[in-house]
């Protein structure tokens, strides 16, 4: 049996233990499993309370179950949902009981969404929006992802694609009707006009789109400076603040390398460059590798210096703020009139941190320049739109040399938009995109 015809299951909620966990199944065996575990097929789309029992009639859990016959389900297939108590033992008993059924297997990351996509429940830009929504940490990221999920980009792309096909039909109609291969000017002129309009429209959407992609990736701030100036102390202070949302890459339990801040809805990652160090732990290595790569392309450097240092600085093209630490030790700091902003803090005591954070919010504000109208949130999407306008431009350029050439470029433009929507694509590209998704999605 092809893996695609098998029934998949996964934990679709967070990691155990939790009060409630949702186990989801999709595929032809969904009904047999839900009926097998509960003793009957529940009414469609109704939350139903049921005692779950394994094949030996041993109770597993008292649960709420939902039965969604396809195609009116999230994936387009038969879907069953079990809302169980979210303990490890409950889940392990559930998984054992489910895996006993024939042709039922654990889902790959993103496999539910992939099935939804393959069954036409959403286009690829919407699938990407769904993934972004799950991973959104801040409110602005959430709103951006929601725009994608609602299909705003997909709708525009579908419209552009239809109009390209219409323009191409005009040109090709001319080719068919002309014996010498010369398309009448009455057909070419309006077609060119349409192509130019499309070209300008897509170009406009591409312009000023940097913010949306940035919003997805976040602003990166690196903390640098000589040893013992208080870099670790500062990042640990930031991690303790309310604005800190995650600190996923701790080098040791004590030292945070990277902390993600939610500054007024903007995602800001602060990295302690000195905390980046060699490690033999493979899990840690991955964190260190990522932190190093991100620090290398930081958008802002906080250069920490001892308050007593007369001079401190950091060259390079990246904007750099001088942050003088340990003001609790030296009462009269030396003045330095520089072109960079300067801050005086005590990382240990917390003095001056509010001012520093307020300035970071201001920087984030300018950096993201609040583009609420952003449609594009991924490099993949931008690349395909650039391809599209490239082909449109070429079709205008080559039309003099022959209408067939122009028609060929228009077909390319339509194909690029088809890729954007996920209509035209080779399997391995889809594999890459869906692998990024969470298991259970």
What is the smallest separation between the CB atom of 349 and ligand GDP, expressed in angstroms?
6
Nearest-approach distance from CB 231 to Zn ion, in angstroms: 5
The strand order across the sheet containing 48-53 reads 48-53, 59-68, 79-86, 18-26, 7-11, 104-106
Per-residue binding string, ligand GDP, 79-118, x by CB under 6 A, is: ----------------------------------------
Where in 246-275 is the site for ligand GDP (CB under 6 A)? 274
Considering the complex, state which of residue 214 and residue 231 has its C-beta at the smaller distance from Zn ion. 231
Is 75 assigned a ligand-binding role in the annotation?
no
Stretch of residues binding Zn ion (CB under 5 A), selected from 29-37, 227-235, 365-373, 397-405: 227-235
Interacting partner of 291 out of ligand GDP, Zn ion, none (Cβ under 5 to 8 A depending on kind): none
Residues 269 and 256: beta-carbon distance below 8 Å: no
Alpha-carbon span 321 to 319, nearest angstrom: 7
357 to 396: interface string for ligand GDP, x by CB under 6 A:
----------------------------------------
Separation CA 30–CA 73 (nearest Å): 12
User: 326 labelled as ligand-binding?
Assistant: no
Residue 214 or 231 having the CB closest to ligand GDP:
231
Angle at 135 between CA 131 and CA 140, to 5 degrees: 105
Question: Closest CB to ligand GDP among 249 and 382?
Answer: 249
Question: 379 labelled as ligand-binding?
Answer: no
Q: Which of 148, 232, 307, 395 binds Zn ion (CB under 5 A)?
A: 232
The whole-angstrom separation of Cα 168 and Cα 165 is 5
Residue of 13, 26, 211, 325 that binds ligand GDP (CB under 6 A): 325
250 DSSP β-pair partners: 256
Give the nearer residue to Zn ion in terms of CB position, either 12 or 236. Answer: 236
Of the residues 233, 381, 391, 415, which one makes contact with ligand GDP according to CB under 6 A = 233
- Closest residue to bound ligand GDP by CB: 230
Ordered alpha helix ranges (H), 178-248? 185-206, 210-217, 231-240
Question: Is 17 or 350 the residue whose CB approaches ligand GDP more closely?
Answer: 350
φ, ψ (nearest 5 deg) of residue 48? -125, 130
Q: How far apart are CA 34 and CA 73, in angstroms?
A: 15
Smallest distance, Å, CB 377 to Zn ion? 34
Q: For residue 2, what are the CA distances in angstroms to 6, 89, 165, 185?
A: 7, 31, 35, 53
Query: Is 45 labelled a binding residue?
Result: no
Nearest to 188 by CA among 175, 198, 197, 199: 175
Cα→Cα distances 232→257, 279, 288, 346, 359, Å: 8, 18, 15, 12, 20
Is 18 marked as a binding-site residue?
no
CA dist 395 and 191 (Å) reads 11
C-alpha of 188 from chain center: 42
**Which residues make up each annotated binding site for GTP?**
228-233, 247-253, 272-275
**Which residues make up each annotated binding site?**
24, 81, 121, 228-233, 247-253, 272-275, 441
Name the residues that contact ligand GDP, by CB under 6 A: 227-233, 274, 325-326, 328-329, 346-349
């Amino acid at each position: 049996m092809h893996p695609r015809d098998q029934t998949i299951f996964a934990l679709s909620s967070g990691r155990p233990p939790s009060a409630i966990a949702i186990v989801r199944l999709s595929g032809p065996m969904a009904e047999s499993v839900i009926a097998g575990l509960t003793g009957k097929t529940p009414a469609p789309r109704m939350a139903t309370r049921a005692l779950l029992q394994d094949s030996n009639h041993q109770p597993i859990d008292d649960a709420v179950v939902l039965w969604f016959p396809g195609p009116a389900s999230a994936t387009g297939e038969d879907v069953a949902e079990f809302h169980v108590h979210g303990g490890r033992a409950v889940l392990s008993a559930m998984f054992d009981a489910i895996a006993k059924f024939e042709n039922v297997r654990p889902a790959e990351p993103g496999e539910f969404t992939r099935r939804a996509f393959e069954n036409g429940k959403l286009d690829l830009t919407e699938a990407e929006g769904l993934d972004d929504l799950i991973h959104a940490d801040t409110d602005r990221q959430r709103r951006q992802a929601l725009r994608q999920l609602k299909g705003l980009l997909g709708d525009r792309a579908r419209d552009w694609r239809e109009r390209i096909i219409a323009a191409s039909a005009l040109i090709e109609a001319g080719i068919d009707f002309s014996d010498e291969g010369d398309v009448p000017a009455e057909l070419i002129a309006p077609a060119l006009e349409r192509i130019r309009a499309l070209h300008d429209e897509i170009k406009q959407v591409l312009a000023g789109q940097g913010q949306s992609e940035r919003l997805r990736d976040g602003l990166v701030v690196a903390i640098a400076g000589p040893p013992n100036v208080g870099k670790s102390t500062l990042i640990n202070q930031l991690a303790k603040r309310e604005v800190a949302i995650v600190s996923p890459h701790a080098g040791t339990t004590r030292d945070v390398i990277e902390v993600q801040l939610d500054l007024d809805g903007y995602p800001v990652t602060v990295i302690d460059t000195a905390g980046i160090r060699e490690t033999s732990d493979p899990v840690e290595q991955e964190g260190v590798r990522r932190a190093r790569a991100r620090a290398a392309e930081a958008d802002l450097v906080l250069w920490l210096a001892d308050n007593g240092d007369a001079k401190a600085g950091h060259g390079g093209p990246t904007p750099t703020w001088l942050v003088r630490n340990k003001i609790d030790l030296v009462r009269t700091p030396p003045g330095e009139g520089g072109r960079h902003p300067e801050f005086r803090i005590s990382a240990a005591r917390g003095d001056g941190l509010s001012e520093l954070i307020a300035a970071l919010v201001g920087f984030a504000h300018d950096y993201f320049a609040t583009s609420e109208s952003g449609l594009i949130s991924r490099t993949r999407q931008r690349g395909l739109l650039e391809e599209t306008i490239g082909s449109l431009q070429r079709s205008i350029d080559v039309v003099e040399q022959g209408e067939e050439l122009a028609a060929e470029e228009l077909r390319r433009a339509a194909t690029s938009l088809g890729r954007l929507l996920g209509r035209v694509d080779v399997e391995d590209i889809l594999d890459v995109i869906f692998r990024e998704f969470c298991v259970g999605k």
